Every structure is written in structure tokens, then in C-alpha cells.
Amino acid sequence: MNETVEVVNQTAQTLPNAQAQGGMWGMILYCIIIMAILYFFMIRPNKKRMAEYQKMLDSIKVGNRVLAAGIYGTVKKVNERTIEMEIAKGVVVEVNKNAVAAIE
């Protein structure tokens, strides 16, 4: 009888530890699932969109008509970080490439 009581006491003491470890693994699994959802629905599409935008910026050539900072113009010169675009006859402005929203 004493042996049975000892076994029951040992089992009762280890049971909360086992439940706590199971809860910990459940929480880790939950966090991994949330991170995967964030990656596939937010981070990955944004990276893809940014790669397409960078490809568009790299394809700017002299003569392209672009929309930059809300102003349409024709590209006259392409520099490393800026473009020079003509917005009216004889009016050339220098604009950061990142301000380009679209190429027509």
C-alpha cells in the first residue's frame, strides 16, 4: 500500500512539469505558425513588389516619359541616383530616381 502511495505521489509531482513542457512546445509551434503566415502574406509579397520596382528603375532610359513626384517629363540624362527630365520645353529638372512612380 505504501508503495502505491509513493508511486501516486511521484506521478502527481511530475504531471505539472509534463503539462508545462507540453504548453511550452505548443506556444513555440504557435509562434512558428504566426511567423510563417506573416512571411507568406506580408514580407514575401512586399519583397517581390520591391524587386519589380527596382527592375523598373534600372530600366529607365533616355527618352522615356516618366511620372516623378507627380510631374510628367521626358528623361534627358540618367545618373547613378538621379535623372534629369525635361518637364517643359527648355525646363530640365533633376529628380531622385526613387521619386519615379511610373514609366510610360
Q: Residue 59: which residues within 8 A CB-CB, separation 6 or more?
A: 103
User: What is the pTM assigned to this prediction?
Assistant: 0.64
Which residues share a beta bridge with 65? 74
Q: Assess whether 70 and 93 both reside in one domain.
A: yes
Q: In what order do the strands lie in the sheet with 82-88?
A: 91-96, 82-88, 71-78, 65-68, 100-103
Helix/strand/coil for 66: strand
Cα–chain center distance at 62: 31
Q: Assess whether 50 and 67 both reside in one domain.
A: no
Q: Assess whether 6 and 50 both reside in one domain.
A: yes
Q: Assess whether 66 and 46 both reside in one domain.
A: no
Domain containing 20 equals 1-58
Q: Assess whether 50 and 3 both reside in one domain.
A: yes
* pLDDT reported for residue 78: 94
Number of domains composing the chain:
2
Mean pLDDT value across residues 61-72:
93
Q: Assess whether 73 and 54 both reside in one domain.
A: no
Q: How confident is the model at residue 24 (pLDDT cuts 50, 70, 90)?
A: confident
Q: Assess whether 50 and 100 both reside in one domain.
A: no
What's the length of the chain? 104
Distance CA 32, CA 26 (A): 10
Q: Assess whether 52 and 2 both reside in one domain.
A: yes
Q: Assess whether 79 and 97 both reside in one domain.
A: yes
